[in-house]
A and B are shown apart, each in its own frame.
Chain A
Amino acid sequence: MVSLTGKSRVGSTRASVGGGQSRPSVGGRNFKVFSEIDRTKVGDGNMTYARGAGASATARSTVVANKRVILNSTSSPKGGLKKSMDKSSGKYGTSVGSTNVRKALADVSNAQEKFTTAVVANKGVILNSTSNPKGGLKKSMDRSSGKYGTSGPGNTNVRKTLADVSNVQENFTTAVGIASSKMKVPAGSSSKIAGVSLRKSFTGRVQRYTRKSVVQLDALNRDDQKNNTNGGQSVNATKDRFTRKPIATSSSRKSLPVLRRVSREDTSNTKENVRSSQTAKGQSGLPTKATTNRRDSSQLINSRSHLWKYRVSDGFVQMVQPNVLHASSRKSTKPIVKTTIKAVTAQRTLKSKSRLSQNKLESTTATSSQNKSLSAQKNLESTTVTSSQDKESVSLSLPEKSLTVSDDTNQSCLPSGESNLTTNLLELIPRKKSFRRKSYTTSLIEGSKILKESGDVREQDNLPNIDNECNQLEVSEYIDDIYLYYWVTEAHNPLLANYMSIQTDISPHLRGILINWLIEVHFKFDLMPETLYLTVTLLDQYLSLVTIKKTDMQLVGLTALLLASKYEDFWHPRVKDLISISAESYTRDQMLGMEKLILRKLKFRLNAPTPYVFMVRFLKAAQSDKKLEHMAFFLVDLCLVEYEALAFKPSLLCASALYVARCTLQITPPWTPLLHKHARYEVSQIRDCADMILKFHKAAGVGKLKVIYEKYSRQELSRVAAVKPLDKLPWTPTTSQTSTL
């Protein structure tokens, strides 16, 4: 579908522009079209209707160029993309600096990787922009600023590029200021540049509003209601703007009360807002405001899509629908209001997360910028006077795209209803945490005087314990025997290796799917790592005692998560939230009954020797840094979804994972005497388990259960998933002899 649309568009472009020089790269030809039109604009002072048609062709070519870029990225290697970029940068010396050229360049720099299919390419573009927003924008800025001279229009474009970078970096704080400074451009510049400045200044202000209280949101709603009376004219004005007519048509009726209210509100803010207020009194204030509202709502929709990052299929479907609704009902502003309210709520909650890092913020902004251009193209298509066949193709392509994505991702997720997604989103947002509290097990194993004999780690033990500083009343110097309890309990508990033999309706594969999903749920509720390991332990212990039906598998998993969070965490999800995340598959009585049943079957013994308690101790014996810690936990997490790993005890799994992690990160020697002492294993004992873990590591990103791989691809976990696994482990006789000594 994308390919067919692209081809038809290419034909249209060629017919419109006329005979051009033939080139091997289609992208290059489109850039040449831009330069011709721009040269004509600079040379000829008269505005004619034919030139308007040329502008329309330019706009249409932008769509073709962007699609061609995507297709180009699928068919040719990275060199081809680089060639296109070189050609486009060479054109800057002879052009005035069109917005479309810069936008296309940004898209090219964002799509630098190879993709196998068109649909995956679209997803890849967005992911790439989230992973490397600053780099792409910086490249664009460097290339553009290097080519520009000291002319007025050139400086304007340089400042525009800086404004984009500032928007990403400073959270829109200085955007209004930079936008205001654009009014200082000499009088010789055209009104189009002024229009762009007006639009950006409004964007900055509205984004500032969205971060204020609900009262401001009410003010925004009132403004929308005012615009509702002029809906038709606003749409017409927007339509004219997208067709790039030289003079923006002002509406016959000016909404002075709206402007006056805006002016009054701005006086209470900073001086920059006052300056923007003066800008807002221009002739095109009202149409620009309408455009800003639509743009702002689409941006906030894209902000909400960030929350759905880890629930792939259904979130995508939900995200697409508002855009379709928005495109189909141009004359009504109510969908804008609803979407804005929902998006504002999502964004406010997003920003209230204490763990939101600067990188995440950049990713969100870059994603918004990327999707803004895509949304603008859709609006352009919907407002351009085209045949009904084109409209039909546009509307059909969206559901097909979403269906394709759904098919890909449904295989790795348990099914859940679409109708509950909106409710799930609002309810599943975890509570804000001011600081990281310790879990129950961490408080149990903390403070033990392990490793005190060894001089190497005595210094580490003598370092001040930051966690205990906030509680100056706590004095805990006991040599606890909690670890002795863990070792004894682990030895006493039977292995859970073959418990599937008592099950008739479930399979190891189903267990893997369930745990893969539970890891995602655990992340979404923002629970502690200890809670995840206890959840899986309780699940396996229960399944080794009770034969269940396939339909109860998810109920047991969610109830195990509830129990684990009650035991470990300082906060546990509500039963209502867990029921909603299962798409109302179970009732409250069923979940509470399952809770009591699990407690009775496990005899209320929840202090189980999970992999976490052993890994924490082994990492201490290894004197590990952050990357080794994350790599070791990554490997242990890979064992959670594999039924095969149940053949080994948790302590052996942790020792083997740590061994493989040290080998993978080139740490020598991979097994030290201190590790041997506290992990209580020799290298020969962990060999089989380590080989199994290496097998899991090689298959990590390839299989369908990828939540763990994605979890450890994030920056806060050192991106250890990207580290290449070893071909094989170094089982050398020298190592064995050394450990024996």
Chain B
Amino acid sequence: MLTLREKYYDFDQISSKVFKCRRDDQFFTMKIVSILNEENQANNGVPYWIIREISILKELDHINIVRLIDVMTDGPDLFLVFEYLDNEFQADFLKNPKMFMYPQMKKEFLYQILNTVAYLHARKILLRDLRPENILVNVRTQVLKIALFGAARTFEAPLEAYSSSVGCLSYRSPEVLFQFGCEKYSTPNDVWAVGCIFGEMLLHRPLFSGPSDVELLDEIFTLLGTPTEETWPGVTSICGTCALMGPPQQPKDLAKEFPMLNPDGLDLLSKMLCLCPNYRISAEDAVKHPYFKGV
């Protein structure tokens, strides 16, 4: 078995723990993962979440997912070898002005995102932190790539308490915002995030951008109305503090908020941004929505 440095060479650092390297005529992206960290002080070997996540990534084969090719070990570190994305792929695809040259491109990109989410959900993989920063896009070929490692989790996997102040709040679903430190993530959360990205593509700004949970929920309820037991059965038991609900508000007319969208698009957006997670559309159903006819 070849060691790490015998197999790969020409290391070029991209960021603190990400390198570009070469093997024969191919380039790869290598990411270093340290096994010994504050979570693993007792040193019981490779953490369980790394074993699970790598085992999942090894099986994924999808054009819109950055592919994990190899895993090497060297001392206390793991080296994950991913496919290399050249300069044509740019991170944070929403900041690229060429994105909005043709209206059809928005639909195309949304379809790729939903198709990827449906593919992952069929394998019980949750993205959990889906946001534009994790999405790379090649404008020339109109191919979109989602980087998974570090954020993906699977159903029912025991997770550490996820602090609500970490990461971007704009793409959190209301049921997650209601429960501070909630460990229960599921597929509707990812669909909500896709809905936020959809709205952001249309408005050229984040759909919800409050700096805290309370303000974010207020923005959500301002647009979509305050949830009730009729629109969201069980919401009073989920909502631990009634103060988060605020005064009752009526939903706004999405047609006036998104005038550029046709009725099919409005229908899809409203279903993805449904407040009740049980009533929210699934990614599998979303890719079959009439809005994507002709894609």
Give chain B nearest CB distance to A547 CB in angstroms.
14
Q: Report B-chain residues with C-beta under 8 Å of the C-beta of A474.
A: 155, 184, 186-187
Asked whether, in the complex, the Cβ of A478 is within 8 Å of the Cβ of B284, the reply is: yes
Complex alpha-carbon distance, A595 and B44, angstroms: 10
Give chain A nearest CB distance to B145 CB in angstroms.
21
Known pairs A481-B122, A604-B51; A476 contacts B186 (CB<8 A)? yes
Give chain A interface residues in 591-619, CB to chain B under 8 Å: 591-592, 595-596, 599-600, 603-607
Complex alpha-carbon distance, A474 and B175, angstroms: 11
Asked whether, in the complex, the Cβ of B43 is within 8 Å of the Cβ of A592, the reply is: yes
User: Taking the complex as formed, is B247 at the interface, i.e. its CB lies under 8 A from any CB of chain A?
Assistant: no
User: Taking the complex as formed, is B234 at the interface, i.e. its CB lies under 8 A from any CB of chain A?
Assistant: yes
Known pairs A475-B277, A478-B121, A592-B43; A603 contacts B58 (CB<8 A)? yes
Known pairs A474-B155, A475-B187, A570-B158; A443 contacts B124 (CB<8 A)? yes
Question: In the complex, what residue of chain B is closest to A482 when comparing beta carbons?
Answer: B123
User: Taking the complex as formed, is A626 at the interface, i.e. its CB lies under 8 A from any CB of chain B?
Assistant: no
Complex alpha-carbon distance, A133 and B1, angstroms: 60
Asked whether, in the complex, the Cβ of B282 is within 8 Å of the Cβ of A480, the reply is: no
Give chain A nearest CB distance to B183 CB in angstroms.
10
User: Taking the complex as formed, is A562 at the interface, i.e. its CB lies under 8 A from any CB of chain B?
Assistant: yes
Asked whether, in the complex, the Cβ of B58 is within 8 Å of the Cβ of A575, the reply is: no
User: Taking the complex as formed, is A473 at the interface, i.e. its CB lies under 8 A from any CB of chain B?
Assistant: yes
Known pairs A474-B155, A591-B45, A605-B59; A599 contacts B51 (CB<8 A)? yes
User: Taking the complex as formed, is B252 at the interface, i.e. its CB lies under 8 A from any CB of chain A?
Assistant: no
Complex alpha-carbon distance, A38 and B119, angstroms: 85
Question: In the complex, what residue of chain B is closest to A565 when comparing beta carbons?
Answer: B48
Complex alpha-carbon distance, A190 and B51, angstroms: 72
Partner of B123 from the list A444, A472, A596 (CB cut-off 8 Å) is A444
Known pairs A437-B156, A606-B55; A599 contacts B46 (CB<8 A)? yes
Complex alpha-carbon distance, A703 and B222, angstroms: 72
Asked whether, in the complex, the Cβ of A599 is within 8 Å of the Cβ of B73, the reply is: yes
Give chain A interface residues in 570-600, CB to chain B under 8 Å: 570, 572, 574-575, 588, 591-592, 595-596, 599-600
Asked whether, in the complex, the Cβ of A592 is within 8 Å of the Cβ of B277, the reply is: no
Known pairs A443-B155, A476-B155, A479-B122; A605 contacts B58 (CB<8 A)? yes
User: Taking the complex as formed, is B62 at the interface, i.e. its CB lies under 8 A from any CB of chain A?
Assistant: no
Q: Report A-chain residues with C-beta under 8 Å of the C-beta of B121.
A: 476, 478
Give chain B nearest CB distance to A433 CB in angstroms.
12
User: Taking the complex as formed, is A523 at the interface, i.e. its CB lies under 8 A from any CB of chain B?
Assistant: no
Give chain B interface residues in 155-174, CB to chain A under 8 Å: 155-158
Known pairs A443-B156, A595-B45; A471 contacts B184 (CB<8 A)? yes
Question: In the complex, what residue of chain B is closest to A570 when comparing beta carbons?
Answer: B158
Give chain B interface residues in 114-128, CB to chain A under 8 Å: 118, 121-124
Asked whether, in the complex, the Cβ of B1 is within 8 Å of the Cβ of A600, the reply is: yes
Known pairs A438-B156, A443-B124, A562-B45; A471 contacts B52 (CB<8 A)? no
Q: Report A-chain residues with C-beta under 8 Å of the C-beta of B284.
A: 477-479
Question: In the complex, what residue of chain B is closest to A564 when comparing beta carbons?
Answer: B51
Q: Report A-chain residues with C-beta under 8 Å of the C-beta of B186.
A: 471, 473-476
User: Taking the complex as formed, is A310 at the interface, i.e. its CB lies under 8 A from any CB of chain B?
Assistant: no
Q: Report A-chain residues with C-beta under 8 Å of the C-beta of B58.
A: 603-605
Question: In the complex, what residue of chain A is closest to B173 when comparing beta carbons?
Answer: A473
Query: What mask results when residues 255 to 295 of chain B are scored 1 for a CB within 8 Å of chain A, else 0?
Result: 00000000000000000000001101010100000000000
User: Taking the complex as formed, is B188 at the interface, i.e. its CB lies under 8 A from any CB of chain A?
Assistant: yes
Known pairs A440-B52, A575-B43; A603 contacts B71 (CB<8 A)? yes
Complex alpha-carbon distance, A531 and B186, angstroms: 24
Asked whether, in the complex, the Cβ of A473 is within 8 Å of the Cβ of B124, the reply is: no
Q: Report A-chain residues with C-beta under 8 Å of the C-beta of B14.
A: none
Q: Report A-chain residues with C-beta under 8 Å of the C-beta of B45.
A: 562, 566, 575, 591-592, 595-596
Give chain B interface residues in 45-77, CB to chain A under 8 Å: 45-48, 51-52, 54-56, 58-59, 71-73
Asked whether, in the complex, the Cβ of B277 is within 8 Å of the Cβ of A473, the reply is: yes
Complex alpha-carbon distance, A477 and B118, angstroms: 11
Partner of A604 from the list B54, B122, B154 (CB cut-off 8 Å) is B54
User: Taking the complex as formed, is A485 at the interface, i.e. its CB lies under 8 A from any CB of chain B?
Assistant: yes
Complex alpha-carbon distance, A481 and B123, angstroms: 8
Partner of B124 from the list A480, A567, A588 (CB cut-off 8 Å) is A480
Q: Report B-chain residues with C-beta under 8 Å of the C-beta of A443.
A: 124, 154-157
Partner of B55 from the list A437, A473, A604 (CB cut-off 8 Å) is A604
Known pairs A475-B278, A575-B45, A591-B45; A485 contacts B52 (CB<8 A)? no
Give chain B nearest CB distance to A473 CB in angstroms.
5
User: Taking the complex as formed, is B42 at the interface, i.e. its CB lies under 8 A from any CB of chain A?
Assistant: yes
User: Taking the complex as formed, is A690 at the interface, i.e. its CB lies under 8 A from any CB of chain B?
Assistant: no
Complex alpha-carbon distance, A172 and B222, angstroms: 62
Complex alpha-carbon distance, A607 and B72, angstroms: 19
Known pairs A440-B156, A443-B155, A574-B42; A485 contacts B59 (CB<8 A)? yes
Complex alpha-carbon distance, A134 and B153, angstroms: 50
User: Taking the complex as formed, is A563 at the interface, i.e. its CB lies under 8 A from any CB of chain B?
Assistant: yes
Asked whether, in the complex, the Cβ of B71 is within 8 Å of the Cβ of A604, the reply is: yes
Partner of B122 from the list A478, A562, A563, A572 (CB cut-off 8 Å) is A478
Complex alpha-carbon distance, A605 and B55, angstroms: 5
Give chain A nearest CB distance to B90 CB in angstroms.
30
Q: Report A-chain residues with C-beta under 8 Å of the C-beta of B59.
A: 485, 605, 607
Complex alpha-carbon distance, A599 and B154, angstroms: 20
- Which of B52, B156, B234 has its CB near the most chain A CB atoms (within 10 A)? B156
Asked whether, in the complex, the Cβ of B46 is within 8 Å of the Cβ of A595, the reply is: yes
Question: In the complex, what residue of chain B is closest to A574 when comparing beta carbons?
Answer: B44
Query: What mask results when residues 183 to 223 of chain A are scored 1 for a CB within 8 Å of chain B, else 0?
Result: 00000000000000000000000000000000000000000
Asked whether, in the complex, the Cβ of B175 is within 8 Å of the Cβ of A567, the reply is: no
Q: Report B-chain residues with C-beta under 8 Å of the C-beta of A567.
A: 48, 51-52, 55
Known pairs A443-B156, A574-B42, A592-B43; A475 contacts B282 (CB<8 A)? yes
Question: In the complex, what residue of chain A is closest to B285 when comparing beta carbons?
Answer: A477
Give chain B nearest CB distance to A442 CB in angstroms.
8
Q: Report B-chain residues with C-beta under 8 Å of the C-beta of A574.
A: 42, 44
Give chain A nearest CB distance to B61 CB in angstroms.
11
Q: Report A-chain residues with C-beta under 8 Å of the C-beta of B71.
A: 599-600, 603-604
Q: Report B-chain residues with C-beta under 8 Å of the C-beta of A592.
A: 43, 45
Give chain A interface residues in 471-506, CB to chain B under 8 Å: 471-482, 485
Give chain B interface residues in 199-236, CB to chain A under 8 Å: 234
Question: In the complex, what residue of chain B is closest to A563 when comparing beta carbons?
Answer: B51
Q: Report A-chain residues with C-beta under 8 Å of the C-beta of B277.
A: 473, 475
Complex alpha-carbon distance, A476 and B121, angstroms: 8
Complex alpha-carbon distance, A269 and B277, angstroms: 52
Query: What mask results when residues 438 to 479 of chain A are scored 1 for a CB within 8 Å of chain B, else 0?
Result: 101001100000000000000000000000000111111111
Complex alpha-carbon distance, A472 and B52, angstroms: 24
Asked whether, in the complex, the Cβ of A440 is within 8 Å of the Cβ of B122, the reply is: no
Q: Report A-chain residues with C-beta under 8 Å of the C-beta of B278.
A: 472, 475
- Which of A437, A440, A562, A570 has its CB near the most chain B CB atoms (within 10 A)? A440
Give chain B nearest CB distance to A572 CB in angstroms.
6
Give chain A nearest CB distance to B120 CB in angstroms.
10
Question: In the complex, what residue of chain A is closest to B277 when comparing beta carbons?
Answer: A473
**Interface CB pairs A-B, < 8 A, 10:** A443-B154, A474-B155, A475-B188, A475-B277, A475-B280, A475-B282, A482-B123, A566-B51, A572-B44, A604-B55
Task: Give me the 5 closest cross-chain CB pairs, A-B, nearest first.
Answer: A566-B48, A443-B156, A474-B186, A604-B54, A480-B122
Which A residues contact B (CB, under 8 angstroms)?
Answer: 437-438, 440, 443-444, 471-482, 485, 562-563, 566-567, 570, 572, 574-575, 588, 591-592, 595-596, 599-600, 603-607
20 further A-B contacts with Cβ under 8 Å, apart from A471-B184, A566-B51, are A440-B156, A440-B157, A443-B155, A471-B156, A472-B234, A473-B277, A474-B155, A475-B188, A476-B155, A480-B123, A481-B122, A566-B52, A575-B44, A575-B45, A592-B45, A596-B46, A599-B71, A604-B71, A605-B59, A606-B52
